[in-house]
Amino acid sequence: LFASLSLFSLSSPLANAAGQQENPYGLIEPGELRVASLGDAKPYTFTDASGNFTGFDVEFFTDVAHRLGINKVVFIGQDFAGILPSVANGRYDAGVAAIGITPAREKTVDFSSGYLAGYLTVLTRKDTGVTDVNSLAKHRLAVVQGTLQENYAMQHFTQTDLVRFPDNNAAISALNNGTVDADFLDYEAAKDYAARFNLVHAADIPSFDAPAGVAIAKGKPAFKAALDKAIQASMQDGTWKKLYQKWFPGSPMPKQYLPHSS
């Protein structure tokens, strides 16, 4: 009896090995993924009428999680600026919200391989006289804090008054109530808000050099490798294409994410 007990005592290498196997990706809760996301970036990621998270990023990442053998995926809404710091300090296992991969961001977090490349859009009302990036000068432009749009506007729209908001909802209501003349956000979200509030695109700026990736804490090579492998598999078997066509109908499809015949 004693021999058998010692074999499975906590200190035995077998038990430790088993312990390691239960949580190979260093998750907060083994077998569950806690994911920081946004509630107002439809159709990338948003909460539907019953408060459930859905959208391209949500369904794509849930598929990736299933490929990792993880079936419990909990999405939690955050202000965008808080997502990367919270992922870096271990409050979440991942950040998934059309988060562009950039060297600056890679100083605080690691990213999976990219899964979505598109445009940054200047969205405006029909009455503002903002018809392209050159007519932004002397106007007020909303940006969500911490986004690539904020960075881009600070570098390129130097004659424009930048007004910073915590999230898309606040920025869009400022645009609708006239507090700002335009809002700088992601293309597909801009398209959705334009349809809902009779707004127009004044400019669509490519952001292909910063494709969206899954943000994870630094120092988790096994987790990153597993994510990259699952993302690749999702693209190769056509899941990525199916979800893209579902959530971004009519949008051009970046070829690098489609099944490769090779």
Ligand X SMILES: NC(=O)CC[C@H](NC[C@@]1(O)OC[C@@H](O)[C@@H](O)[C@@H]1O)C(=O)O
Which two tokens mark 206?
A: 């490519």
Q: What is the DSSP letter of 105?
A: G
**Closest Cα partner for 35 from 86, 92, 82?**
92
- If one asks whether residue 199 binds ligand X (CB under 6 A), the answer comes out as no
Q: Does position 80 bind ligand X by CB under 6 A?
A: yes
Verify binding: residue 118, ligand X, rule CB under 6 A: yes
Q: Is residue 207 within the footprint of ligand X (CB under 6 A)?
A: yes
3-state secondary structure 127-188: CCCCCCHHHCCCCEEEEECCCHHHHHHHHHCCCCEEEEECCHHHHHHHHHCCCCCEEEEEHH
Residue 182 CB coordination number (10 Å): 30
Compute the least distance from the CB of residue 153 to ligand X, in Å: 11
Per-residue binder mask for ligand X (CB under 6 A), 83-102, x = binder? --------------xxxx--
C-alpha dist (Å) from residue 105 to 31, 83, 120, 130, 171: 27, 11, 18, 31, 23
Query: Judged by CB under 6 A, does residue 109 bind ligand X?
Result: no
CB of 71 to ligand X, least distance (A): 25
Q: According to the binding rule CB under 6 A, does residue 211 interact with ligand X? A: yes
What is the distance in angstroms between the CA of the first residue and the CA of the last residue of the chain?
Answer: 57
Touching ligand X, residues 149-188 (CB under 6 A):
186
* Residues 26-55 interacting with ligand X (rule: CB under 6 A): 38, 41
Binding residues for ligand X, total number by CB under 6 A: 18
Q: Minimum distance between the CB of residue 38 and ligand X, rounded to whole angstroms?
A: 5
CB of 208 to ligand X, least distance (A): 6
Shortest Å, Cβ 41 to ligand X? 5
Nearer to ligand X, 128 or 147 (CB): 147
Q: Of 164, 245, 249, 153, which is closest to residue 202 (Cα–Cα)?
A: 153
Judge contact between 37 and 45, C-beta under 8 A: yes
Query: Contact positions toward ligand X, by CB under 6 A?
Result: 38, 41, 80, 97-100, 116-118, 144, 147-148, 186, 207, 210-212
